[in-house]
Amino acid sequence: GNSVTQMEGPVTLSEEAFLTINCTYTATGYPSLFWYVQYPGEGLQLLLKATKADDKGSNKGFEATYRKETTSFHLEKGSVQVSDSAVYFCALRGSSNTGKLIFGQGTTLQVKP
C-alpha cells in the first residue's frame, strides 16, 4: 500500500540556516504530493504541493520537487526564521477515488534566534 517516510526530528537550526527535511514515498500509480505545516496549537495548513513528476511546489520561501526516479519530495528553505518553528508533514494522495491523504510521521522544526 501507499506510505510516506519522513526524516526523524526534532530539527534544531539557527535563524538564517538552510533547511532540508527529507521525505520519500511508496505508491502505485501517480500520486499527488503535499507538505502541510502545523503551528503550535493549530490545525494543519497546506504549505505546498506538486501533482506530477518534476513539478516544483513553492510557498513562503519553501520549495519541494516531485522526484519520481527517487520517489522523494524533500522540503527545503534557504534561510529559516524563528516563525518557521512548527511541525511539518509530508503527505501523498493516491489516484483512487477516495481522496485519502497518507501522512508521514511529522518532523518538528525549532529555529533559534
* CA triple 28-31-37, angle to 5 deg: 130
Q: Contact positions toward another protein, by CB under 8 A?
A: 4, 6, 31-32, 34, 36, 42-46, 49, 51, 89, 93-101, 103-106
108 to 18, 23, 38, 85, 112: CA distances (angstroms): 15, 13, 9, 8, 13
To another protein, the closest distance from the beta carbon of 32 in angstroms equals: 5
Question: 40 or 113, CB closer to another protein?
Answer: 40
Question: 34 or 80, CB closer to another protein?
Answer: 34
To another protein, the closest distance from the beta carbon of 14 in angstroms equals: 25
CB 93 within 8 A of CB 26: no
To another protein, the closest distance from the beta carbon of 37 in angstroms equals: 11
Residue 84 gets which letter from DSSP? G
Question: Phi, psi at residue 62, to the nearest 5°?
Answer: -90, 145
Question: 100 or 112, CB closer to another protein?
Answer: 100
Question: 26 or 81, CB closer to another protein?
Answer: 26
To another protein, the closest distance from the beta carbon of 22 in angstroms equals: 15
If DSSP codes are grouped into helix, strand and coil, which group holds residue 32? strand
